[in-house]
């Protein structure tokens, strides 16, 4: 033992020594330790007593790491790279990490072959079923052999961590290449997309969809071959089955820049055309070094993919020929039906168009096609097909104007310069503000479930184009949101109202339709959570604070993600209804404070001996209504959206309410108002086992 000069140094050296001996399983005697420094014995005894009690502080770090990566997680990255042996493989170094785990360079000990080994976190394999599914999937993937696919040739489990083994590709992924070297030349980008498409063609033929195509999953090797990485693995990303993981950015949310709209709605329902969309987004990135839709937040980009017009590739990359722009647009069409229906078709188109055109017949054919296209366009412009109009407008006005608004009483729509709504009856027009009427069938009392669903969808679509406008009674309590613009509708409120009166149209009123859900025993957990959410809101009085928006945004996206991935309607409804609540959260409206938080109602209920609102299992539907109430209660004088995050958040919350209403209608067709099922006799939430979906 090295003795230091000062007592302090000596004391701490002794402590180190004591701890080392403890780690070796010994129980050193303090007196023995301090034999050469007896004056330190008493102090040492006291420290040893206290440090022994504090050993839980040392254990905690290990435990937490263990939760993330199992036994393998106990090692730091450096230790792991030096010492770890996983199955038959010895880890050499860490190559990278992401939401799906860590990738190591490893060597097979017997074959002495270098491979890439991906270690998946245990959270991806929450149950024996998912492990079995993983094994089956790996078996299928192992059969794939294509020069443009990184082959998987082994998989297994070691110390609680699942892993699979791939070819080690000597090259860089396209994301890194573009980030380091700038946008690719058009020819090279086309070649990369073509190669990736060929790999996908092979996978799709085997029924395997990638679902996470992005530049960082495409590796360009030294020989110029593009190889697809992680094929078929995306489906093991956390889903609603493990909702704890849903908000782990980097997992579900990490790849939204390349995620098609339908996949944001339901990952499992996305088919091979989702890969085509993602490949289109990848093409955009390769040529521009940017994501197709800019946005500071995940949610902003999700909504953009769903609702924003496709930007012009030619504008962003002037070197791109017009045909490539057209091809790109077809790849990234919002609706899967409008895209290439197979990668084979895409390859065929890409190959033909990118090939040199020397033959005279090609020129003639091109001229004929152009004429036909012109004729077609002419027909569209003069015909009654209004659906094509917004596309033209959208492409002309990407992200700059073309404002819209939606009137969410279900009866009227208020638009500004919105071409989509041109087929609807125009009630009033004030400058560039238009008030239009929805088809009456939408909200009639006897409207069919299908009509209501359609309305929900429509809200979704409209809201996806960034809008919010609300009328109530004789007042327009409108909120208008549009990308980086200033509120317009509120300033025009008086003007709009006057015009409405001039034409004898009363501003639409809002009828409270109380729907009562049946008993939802599974919802008490969620209800408690949303209650908690509300309590937080009121404590956080910083509703105009951009930072609060950011947190809410995550929560909103989480609810959205859970809801769209929910396999059960009840579950979906519950999550959608929470989103309605988040509107309250954002606005902090008096109505919500009064009703939902219960300054009035809750106390009254309590005095009457009733259970609080959130203690009732049939209250889920009330939440949807409450969310809607809050929406209608927006007071623009107090409502001061201060950041883009907040505005976007509200938009998504609006979508939630629309969808929530639609789903509610689907579950419980509104025939007559039903009395709520008495809460009495129901299990109290405290006693409920919180069955998680």
Partner 1 sequence: MTELTSQTAGWLDLMRSGDSDARRRLIEHACERLRGLARKMLRQYPRVHRWEETDDVFCEAVTRLHRALETVRPELPRDFYNLAATQIRRVLIDMARRYYGPEGIGSHHDTAAVNLKGNAPPKHDRADLSGEPSGLAEWTEFHEHVEALPEEVREVFNLLWYEQMSQEEAAKVLGVTTRTIRRRWHESRFRLQKACLGEPLPE
User: What are the residues binding partner 1 (CB under 8 A)?
Assistant: 12, 15-16, 19, 43, 46-47, 50-51, 53-58, 60-61, 63-65, 67-68, 76-78, 94, 243-244, 246-247, 249-250, 296, 525, 528-529, 531-533, 535-536, 545-548, 550-552, 554-555, 558, 684-687, 690
Q: How far is the CB of 119 from partner 1 (least distance, A)?
A: 16
Q: Which is nearer to partner 1, 67 or 457 (CB)?
A: 67
Do 568 and 240 contact (CB within 8 A), yes or no? Answer: no
3-state secondary structure 564-625: HHCCCHHHHHHHHHHHHHHHHHHHCCHHHHHHCCCCCHHHHHHHCCCCCHHHCHHHHHHHHH
Do 124 and 237 contact (CB within 8 A), yes or no? Answer: yes
Q: How far is the CB of 54 from partner 1 (least distance, A)?
A: 4
Q: Which is nearer to partner 1, 19 or 157 (CB)?
A: 19
CA dist 507 and 505 (Å) reads 6
DSSP code at position 687: G
Q: Tokens at residue 115, please?
A: 């491979």
Q: How far is the CB of 313 from partner 1 (least distance, A)?
A: 23
Neighbours of 114 (CB within 10 A): 14
Q: How far is the CB of 211 from partner 1 (least distance, A)?
A: 22
3-state secondary structure of 216: helix
Q: How far is the CB of 61 from partner 1 (least distance, A)?
A: 4
**CA angle, 557 as apex, 232 and 619 as ends, to 5°?**
115
* Nearest one of 158, 169, 154 to 108, comparing CA atoms: 154
Q: Which is nearer to partner 1, 80 or 628 (CB)?
A: 80
Q: How far is the CB of 296 from partner 1 (least distance, A)?
A: 5
* Nearest one of 251, 275, 249, 279 to 262, comparing CA atoms: 275
Do 17 and 29 contact (CB within 8 A), yes or no? Answer: no
Q: How far is the CB of 86 from partner 1 (least distance, A)?
A: 19
Torsion angle of C-alpha atoms 40, 45, 51, 52, degrees rounded to 10: 150
- Burial of residue 415 (CB within 10 Å: 0-12, 13-18, 19+) is buried
Alpha carbons within 13 A on the beta-carbon side of 438: 23
Q: How far is the CB of 164 from partner 1 (least distance, A)?
A: 23
Q: Which is nearer to partner 1, 506 or 642 (CB)?
A: 642
Q: How far is the CB of 22 from partner 1 (least distance, A)?
A: 12
b/e map 81-97, b = 16+ CB within 10 Å:
beebebbebbbbeeeee
Q: Tokens at residue 104, please?
A: 């190591």
Q: Which is nearer to partner 1, 78 or 396 (CB)?
A: 78
Q: How far is the CB of 525 from partner 1 (least distance, A)?
A: 8
Q: How far is the CB of 551 from partner 1 (least distance, A)?
A: 3
Q: Tokens at residue 486, please?
A: 């200033």
Q: How far is the CB of 245 from partner 1 (least distance, A)?
A: 9
CA dist 351 and 139 (Å) reads 32
Q: Which is nearer to partner 1, 554 or 668 (CB)?
A: 554
Q: Which is nearer to partner 1, 243 or 577 (CB)?
A: 243
Strand partners, 447: none
CA dist 666 and 447 (Å) reads 11
**CA angle, 627 as apex, 626 and 632 as ends, to 5°?**
90
- Burial of residue 535 (CB within 10 Å: 0-12, 13-18, 19+) is exposed
Q: Which is nearer to partner 1, 141 or 303 (CB)?
A: 303
Query: DSSP letters along 105-161, please?
Result: EEEETTT--EEEEEEEPGGG--SHHHHHHHHHHHHHHHT---TTB--EEEEEEETTE
Q: Which is nearer to partner 1, 29 or 61 (CB)?
A: 61
Q: Which is nearer to partner 1, 67 or 187 (CB)?
A: 67
Q: Which is nearer to partner 1, 31 or 296 (CB)?
A: 296
**CA angle, 569 as apex, 693 and 582 as ends, to 5°?**
80
Q: How far is the CB of 483 from partner 1 (least distance, A)?
A: 16
Q: Which is nearer to partner 1, 45 or 391 (CB)?
A: 45
Q: Which is nearer to partner 1, 244 or 541 (CB)?
A: 244
Q: Which is nearer to partner 1, 597 or 668 (CB)?
A: 597
Q: How far is the CB of 346 from partner 1 (least distance, A)?
A: 30
CA distance to 32, 264, 316, per residue, from 522 (Å): 62, 25, 49
């Amino acid at each position: 033992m090295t003795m230091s000069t000062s007592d302090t140094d000596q004391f701490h050296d002794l402590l180190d020594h004591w701890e080392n001996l403890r780690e070796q399983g010994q129980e050193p005697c303090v007196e023995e330790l301090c034999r050469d420094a007896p004056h330190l014995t008493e102090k040492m005894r006291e420290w040893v007593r206290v440090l022994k009690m504090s050993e839980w502080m040392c254990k905690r770090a290990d435990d937490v790491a263990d939760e993330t990566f199992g036994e393998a997680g106990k090692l730091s990255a450096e230790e792991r790279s030096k010492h770890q042996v996983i199955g038959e493989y010895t880890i050499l170094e860490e190559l990278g990490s992401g939401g799906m785990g860590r990738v190591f360079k490893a060597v097979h000990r017997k074959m002495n072959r270098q491979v890439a080994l991906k270690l998946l976190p245990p959270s991806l394999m929450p149950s024996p079923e998912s492990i079995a599914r993983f094994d089956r999937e790996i078996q299928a993937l192992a059969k794939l052999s294509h020069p443009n696919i990184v082959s998987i040739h082994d998989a297994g489990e070691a110390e609680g961590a699942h892993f699979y083994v791939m070819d080690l590709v000597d090259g860089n992924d396209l994301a890194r290449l573009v980030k380091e070297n700038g946008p690719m030349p058009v020819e090279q980008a086309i070649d990369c997309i073509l190669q990736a498409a060929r790999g996908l063609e092979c996978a799709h033929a085997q029924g395997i969809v990638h679902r996470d195509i992005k530049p960082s999953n495409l590796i360009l090797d030294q020989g110029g071959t593009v190889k697809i990485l992680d094929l078929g693995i995306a489906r093991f990303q956390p889903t609603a089955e493990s909702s704890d993981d849903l908000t782990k950015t980097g997992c579900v949310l990490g790849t939204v820049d390349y995620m098609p709209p339908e996949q944001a709605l339901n990952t499992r329902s996305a088919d091979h055309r989702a890969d085509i969309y993602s490949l289109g987004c990848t093409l955009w990135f390769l040529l521009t070094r940017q994501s197709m839709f800019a946005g500071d937040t995940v949610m902003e980009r999700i909504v953009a993919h769903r609702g924003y017009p496709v930007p012009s590739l030619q504008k962003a990359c002037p070197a791109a020929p017009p045909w490539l722009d057209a091809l790109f647009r077809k790849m990234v069409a919002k609706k899967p039906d409008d895209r290439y229906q197979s990668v084979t078709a895409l390859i065929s188109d890409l190959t033909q168009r990118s090939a040199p055109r020397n033959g005279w017949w090609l020129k003639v054919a091109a001229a004929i096609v152009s004429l036909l296209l012109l004729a077609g366009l002419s027909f569209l412009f003069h015909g009654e097909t209004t659906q094509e109009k917004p596309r033209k407008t959208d492409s002309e006005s990407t992200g700059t104007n073309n404002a819209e608004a939606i009137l969410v009483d279900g009866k009227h729509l208020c638009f500004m310069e919105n071409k989509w709504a041109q087929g609807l009856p125009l009630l009033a027009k004030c400058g560039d503000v238009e008030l239009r009427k929805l088809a009456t069938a939408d909200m009639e009392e006897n409207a069919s479930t299908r009509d209501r669903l359609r309305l929900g969808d429509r809200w979704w679509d409209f809201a996806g184009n960034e809008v919010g406008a609300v009328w109530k009674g004789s007042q327009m309590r409108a909120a208008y949101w549009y990308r980086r613009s200033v509120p317009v509708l509120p300033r025009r409120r008086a003007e709009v109202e006057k015009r409405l009166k001039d034409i004898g149209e009363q501003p639409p009123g809002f009828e409270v339709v109380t729907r009562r859900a049946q008993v939802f025993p599974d919802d008490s957990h969620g209800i408690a959570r949303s209650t908690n959410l509300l309590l937080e809101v009121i404590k956080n009085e910083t509703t105009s604070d951009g930072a609060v928006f950011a947190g809410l945004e995550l929560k909103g996206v989480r609810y959205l993600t859970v809801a769209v991935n929910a396999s059960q309607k009840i579950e979906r409804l519950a999550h959608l209804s929470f989103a309605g609540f988040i509107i309250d959260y954002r606005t902090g409206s008096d109505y919500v404070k009064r009703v939902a938080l219960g300054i009035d109602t809750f106390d009254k209920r309590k005095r009457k001996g009733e259970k609080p609102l959130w203690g009732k299992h049939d209250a889920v539907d009330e939440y949807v209504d409450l969310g809607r109430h809050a929406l209608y209660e927006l007071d623009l004088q107090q409502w001061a959206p201060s950041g883009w995050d907040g505005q976007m958040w509200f938009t998504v919350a609006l979508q939630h309410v629309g969808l929530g209403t639609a789903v509610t209608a689907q579950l419980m067709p509104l025939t007559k108002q039903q009395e709520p099922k008495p809460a009495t006799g129901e299990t109290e939430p405290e006693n409920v086992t919180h069955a998680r979906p």
